Amino acid sequence: MKKTTAFWDASALVPLCVQEAASLRARSCLRNFTPVVWWVSLVEIQSAIWRMQRERNLTEADKLSALARLRILSAGWREILPVDQVRELAGRLLETYALRAADSMQLAGSLIWCEQRPKRKTFICGDRRLAEAADDAGFSVINLRGDLL
């Protein structure tokens, strides 16, 4: 069976690298959806992994395993690059949705990916506020945290 693509927010990719409550659902989604990600997602995920280690939620071995999984995962995803169109759209999205700047960039990247036609396109997310905005924008949202949609 051929997998379809879906836009993955960085918050949905972290559970693929680090064992947490959403990991099982994230792995299930990965079996069905090839990730399309925003250009800076790699750095956002690295930041989450390093933060977890600093906060003593990951051992050194866990951190190294998570970074290795991230390298493998990133080799198979498609990135939406930082073009002016993404930045301009992200700025406009801030008027409509109560998003932080980074989340606005994620949503803008997803809209560029689908040529601003989100109907029947999947957005996989682990952040409630971003999931709500993606749903309002017209995506079919899979919220890995399960607290919405």
The CATH number of whichever domain residue 108 belongs to comes to: 3.40.50.1010
Scan for tokens 């090839």, then name that residue: 34
Does residue 34 form part of some domain? yes
pLDDT over threshold 70, residue 13: yes
Does residue 149 form part of some domain? no
The total of structural domains in the chain comes to 1
The rounded radius of gyration (Å) of the Cα atoms in the chain is 15
Does residue 148 form part of some domain? no
Does residue 99 form part of some domain? yes
Does residue 8 form part of some domain? yes
Using an 8 Å Cβ cutoff, are 39 and 70 in contact?
Answer: no
The reported pTM is 0.94
Does residue 132 form part of some domain? yes
**How do residues 89-144 score in pLDDT, each as one tens digit?**
999 999 999 999 999 999 999 999 999 999 999 999 999 999 999 999 999 999 99
Mean pLDDT within 70-83: 97
Does residue 49 form part of some domain? yes
Q: Exposed, middle or buried by CB within 10 Å (0-12, 13-18, 19+), for 62?
A: middle
**How do residues 22-63 score in pLDDT, each as one tens digit?**
999 999 999 999 999 999 999 999 999 999 999 999 999 999
| Per-residue exposure over 109-118, b if at least 16 CB sit within 10 Å of its own CB, e if not | bbbbbbeeeb
Q: Which residues touch 115 (CB under 8 Å, ≥6 apart)?
A: none
Confidence of residue 1 (pLDDT cuts 50, 70, 90): low
Does residue 117 form part of some domain? yes
Which residues form the domain of 97?
Answer: 4-143
Starting at the edge strand that comes first in sequence, how are the strands of the sheet with 140-143 ordered?
A: 78-80, 33-38, 4-8, 122-125, 140-143
